[in-house]
Amino acid sequence: MVLHNRVSADELRKRLELETFKRVTISFYQYAKIEDPQAFRDQLYESLFKLDVFGRIYVAHEGINAQISVPEHHVDAFRSTLYAIGFLNGIRLNVAVDDDGKSFFVLKIKVREKIVADGIDDPTFDMANRGKYVDAQGFNELTNDPETVIVDMRNHYEYEVGHFDGAIEVPSDTFRDQLPMAVDMLKDQKDKNIIMYCTGGIRCEKASAYMLHHGFKNVFHLEGGIIEYTNKARQQNLPIKFKGKNFVFDDRLGERISEDIISQCHQCGEPCDTHTNCLNDGCHLLFIQCEACAQKYDGCCSDACKEVHALPEEEKAVLRKGVDKGLMFNKSRRKRIK
């Protein structure tokens, strides 16, 4: 029984590049009661490994959250495997909007305390009492009303490269911080229509329940998030109100929704919405970088990181010892980083 990957990342990436078939990037989630997350995780890993599924899946007592890559010729078998699980039967599968098939190269399934880290410790909070789903057409209709409040429940670096027209940003790096911030920001608008959205629906669904828990009345959340909205709007020839790129948490780092570029390179300030990670292994800062700056800084976020990146591997290894990765991985807001 195979329950964990034993192959190096380099080898797995090489295997991915050599694949002769197409892959489909899919995401899904479900809030449900899982009695034994570890046992569920192991059974799921064994089933998906046989289908050559790659991706990142979190399992907890409160449910499952998954972003995966499935071989095109195994999609039907994957769907059947998933639907054979009681609480996942018929679950909506969000298919990527802009997909190169290279989103993941390995399968990782982890047991977590929660599928979305929310910081909620109130025993009276109930996910069963959540906002109303709104689909693409309903979203467009509700947002035509100037009294409707649109709330983006993603991190600031996601909002920066793309968001819905008129959406309010809840400026934070973490979902757990955003929840109380959203309540405070909207405390004087409890009787208005409030629509919450996120990438695939998992965060805004929990956020809608949190808002209702705090006395808000007319709370909606976008069904399937930005991904489902875009697919449905295109299928139904509806106006697409999302501008820019939809940030995604895989190797693509984004999928193009509209041609609008609403953000700037963090190094020179030119229009750009391409996220990258600093190539200095002691940094890996996530930031926006244009092609000109990528050449100028060799894919790094600063001259200092460029100098380190150019050093022999032995010297870089010495420098990495003792580095505070919590600081180096910080995604905090900034205009320029050179």
Domain boundary among 81, 111, 141: 111
Half-sphere exposure of 331 (CA within 13 A, CB side): 16
Tell me how crowded residue 326 is: count the other CB atoms within 10 A of its CB.
7
Closest by Cα among 210, 149, 146 to 177? 210
Same domain, yes or no, for 91 and 139?
no
> Which residue out of 198, 290, 301, 305 is catalytically annotated?
198
Domain containing 90 — which CATH number? 3.30.70.100
Q: Strand order of the sheet with strand 242-246?
A: 162-164, 242-246, 255-256
- The span from the CA of 172 to the CA of 157, in Å, is 9
Same domain, yes or no, for 60 and 97?
yes
- The span from the CA of 253 to the CA of 146, in Å, is 32
Could you read off the pLDDT of 44-96 as tens digits, one per residue?
A: 999 999 999 999 999 999 999 999 999 999 999 999 999 999 999 999 999 99
Identify whether 264 is part of a domain.
Answer: no
Beta strand 193-197 pairing with 149-152: parallel
Q: Is 330 helix (H, G, I), strand (E, B) or coil?
A: coil
Same domain, yes or no, for 238 and 143?
yes
Q: What is the DSSP letter of 87?
A: G
Give yes or no for a contact between 179 and 196, defined as CB atoms under 8 angstroms apart. no
Give yes or no for a contact between 199 and 227, defined as CB atoms under 8 angstroms apart. yes
- The span from the CA of 195 to the CA of 216, in Å, is 12
Give yes or no for a contact between 125 and 207, defined as CB atoms under 8 angstroms apart. no
Give yes or no for a contact between 42 and 3, defined as CB atoms under 8 angstroms apart. yes
Q: Is 293 a catalytic residue?
A: no
Same domain, yes or no, for 195 and 280?
no
- The model's pTM is 0.85
pLDDT-flagged residues of the chain (< 70): 322-338
Identify whether 315 is part of a domain.
Answer: yes
Identify whether 3 is part of a domain.
Answer: no
Taking the CA atoms of residue 226, residue 232, residue 235 and residue 236 in that order, the dihedral angle to the nearest 10 degrees is -120
Identify whether 127 is part of a domain.
Answer: no
Number of structural domains (the chain) is: 3
Burial (CB count within 10 angstroms: exposed 0-12, middle 13-18, buried 19+), residue 243: middle
- The span from the CA of 89 to the CA of 141, in Å, is 30
Q: Is 138 helix (H, G, I), strand (E, B) or coil?
A: helix
What is the domain range of residue 321?
275-328
Summary count for the chain: helices (H), strands (E)? 12, 15
Q: What pLDDT does 112 receive? A: 96
